[in-house]
Amino acid sequence: LKDPRRFVELGARIPAGVLLEGPPGTGKTLLAKAVAGEAGVPFYSISGSDFVEMFVGVGASRVRDLFETAKKNAPAIIFIDEIDAVGRQRGAGMGGGHDEREQTLNQLLVEMDGFDGNEGVIVIAATNRSDVLDPALLRPGRFDRQILVGRPDVKGREAILRVHARNKPLSDDVDLKVVAQQTPGFAGADLENVLNEAALVAARRNKKKIDASDIDEAEDRVIAGPAKKDRVINKREREMVAYHEAGHTIVGLVLSRARVVHKVTIIPRGRAGGYMIALPKEDQFLMTKEDMFEQIVGLLGGRTAEEIIFGVQSTGASNDFEQATALARSMVTEYGMSDKLGPVQYEGNHQVFVGRDYGQTKAYSEQVAFEIDQEVRKILMDAHQKAHEIIEEHRAQHKLIAEKLLEHETLDAKAIKSLFEEGKMPEGTESSEYPSEKAQTFEEAKRALEEKDAEKQAAEKHSEDAPSNDFDQQLEDVRRNSESQPTDQENKDDNA
């Protein structure tokens, strides 16, 4: 756009469009804004949903007007955010009749690469659902470049954190490189949210700077939600949660080839009564069959511990089963990791799109579907057996970690490693100056309510004894002064 002659002299055709695709929060819209600032040309921005309104023909008319304005001011850039709102596959509607969105898409296709050229106009679009876009929109000549804006790696996360930490005072114990290592899979928006939450936590704690404990609490809030300090937990449930999370921890410590246990807590947050965080040793772009199986074993460690210690099965493992089953099914149907079914992909990894999937039958028979279910069940049962063997073998360490969880409620990586290898807490372990809001036992909750009622009654009694308002207070002061001062007759008597 700055110097198009160099490209024209070589017979090059300037790309007509660029499609930015990737998960939410990775900076697609921000990247388009940066391009607009660097190019120094007119920039026209619109959202995909702005084209379609209640009147027929408005969408196509707006597309024509937008491109006409851009051509008059060429070279120019048109940015369409969330293009999947208007660029979905045609013919995917569930009902008959006229589809206004399809007419808008047809006009967009014509303007981008139709009979009349649009030299000097480049279209940039952003979406996180490129799998539902119309194929005609994605062909060369319309969107020549399809750029994946994925989640950042550890170096990218550190750079993003440094950008968002510019206006935030950080204490000396905060290492953004460590924070980047503790946040795998976080997008740019997630990282900004972590630092913002850390600033809010530090402000509530009346601090002048954000320290490591604030960022640790902020990570927990972003991952699992705020701590539920008012949730009342009876003693047996608290013990079950502690042994459940200790089961996850023991399996994670033994099967530590790709992931390391970072933290375990029994403080309830969101829908979870507790959780264990295991982080990859380094950013993984490929996972082996063994890595996925170890992850499934770790997910089943909590339920296995409940069965071994208490001989019961609780509802606390429902999310573990959901994740484990999804992993096992993807191993069989997507990645060809089943010896029985072989290297065949039976299901794609695309998201559901009713318009495209409606009316399509599965590409495999009922017999194969039955065998898929058998293979998924076999993987889960093998993982359950493996978790059982690990916890039985390390029964003493499992009990110790559960007991320390009941005592301290949260254990970090250093404490977990010391308990597993040495059988004791590391030296200098103290309760945090600002602990996360702790879960209350029934007795603690009852005592807190009684104290609160007593304070309320004392405040009400004080308000009854006190004057009702400032005017009453002034009258009371005048009355007391008049009583304390001698009258003129008393002064005469004294002088006599």
Give me the active site residues, please.
245
Question: What whole-number distance in Å separates Cα of residue 151 and Cα of residue 25?
Answer: 9
Phi, psi of 262 (to 5 degrees): -100, -35
Closest CA to 17 of 105, 116, 126, 107: 126
Q: Produce one character per residue of 67-91: b if its CB has 16 or more CB atoms within 10 Å, e if not.
A: beebbeeebbbbbbbbbbbbbbbbe
In 3D space, the residue among 383, 370, 367 whose CA is nearest the CA of residue 289 turns out to be: 383
Strand ranges for 208-302 from DSSP E: 232-233, 259-265, 275-280
CA–CA distance, 19 with 11 (Å, rounded to integer): 23
How many residues comprise the chain?
496
Q: What is the rounded CA–CA span in Å between residue 172 and residue 175?
A: 8
Token representation of residue 127: 């979406």
175 neighbors 209 (Cβ within 8 angstroms): no
Strand 145-148 with 259-265, pairing: unpaired
Residue closest to 109 by CA, chosen among 145, 133, 74: 133
Please tell me the distance from the alpha carbon of residue 34 to that of residue 45, in angstroms, as a whole number: 13
- Tokens linked to 58: 């408005």
Which residue shows structure tokens 């060429």? 74
CA torsion angle 469 470 474 480 (round to 10): 50
User: Phi/psi at 291 (nearest 5 deg)?
Assistant: -60, -45
Q: How many Å apart are CA 446 and CA 332, to the nearest integer?
A: 51
Q: Which residues contact 56 (CB under 8 A, 6 or more apart)?
A: 98, 100
